[in-house]
Amino acid sequence: MKAKDRFSGALRIVIAAAAVFIAGCADMGMSGGQNIKVSLDGKQESPPVATSATGSGTIKIASDKSVSGSVTTTGVDGTVAHIHQGAGPGKNGPVIIPLNKTSANEWTVPPGAKLTDAQYDSFKSGGLYVNVHSAANKGGEIRGDLKP
């Protein structure tokens, strides 16, 4: 085999490996970030709520501080849902992102949602959570912390 042919074959391998790497980066999102799996229940509310309602979902917080994702609930007739900023797990705090009700039991982060620098720092230290409110539990029926 000629040296030129060996070089050409090695170059093809390098190009193929680079293509696989780039495709993997595109799948993760070029802005990076974390897909946070969240589980919601009444025990995580502050104070805890006795309910059989639950929820689960994925919220993505990208390194550019953009937020996307959704949660799905069961056993609750939710009236509103939000991402809140608290002082840590079990601590209540203000609404920072209202979620859109996209079906009877699904809540979605609105397009273009983004955290401030302070909210992003709070996320990194475990200070953000999702909760779903109901008519019976106006302060929140189920909650799940967004753990980085």
How does pLDDT run across 108-120, given as a tens digit for each residue? Answer: 999 999 999 999 9
**pLDDT per residue over 38-60, tens digit each?**
999 999 999 999 999 999 999 99
Q: From residue 132, how far is each of 9, 51, 70, 87 by CA, in Å?
A: 57, 12, 12, 19
Q: What mean pLDDT comes out for the span 130-145?
A: 96
Q: What is the DSSP letter of 33?
A: -
Domains identified in the chain, total number: 2
pLDDT at residue number 8: 54
Cα 127 → chain centroid: 13
- pLDDT band at residue 6, thresholds of 50, 70 and 90? low
Non-local (6+) Cβ contacts of 76 within 8 A are: 51, 53, 55, 105, 132, 134, 141, 142
Residues 4 and 62 reside in one and the same domain: no
pLDDT band at 74 (very low <50, low <70, confident <90, very high): very high
The reply to whether 57 and 124 lie within a common domain is yes
Same domain, 56 and 110: yes
Residue 64 dihedral angles phi and psi, to the nearest 5°: -85, 10
Same domain, residue pair 21 and 63: no
More confident residue, 91 or 72: 72
Look up tokens 């589980």; give the residue: 39
Mean pLDDT of the 64-68 span = 97
Q: Is the pLDDT of residue 36 over 70?
A: yes
Predicted local confidence at residue 81, as pLDDT: 98
Q: What integer pLDDT is reported at residue 28 of this predicted model? A: 39
Residue 63 shares a structural domain with residue 79: yes
Q: Which domain holds residue 21?
A: 1-30
53 and 124, same domain (yes or no): yes
Q: Are residues 106 and 51 in the same domain?
A: yes
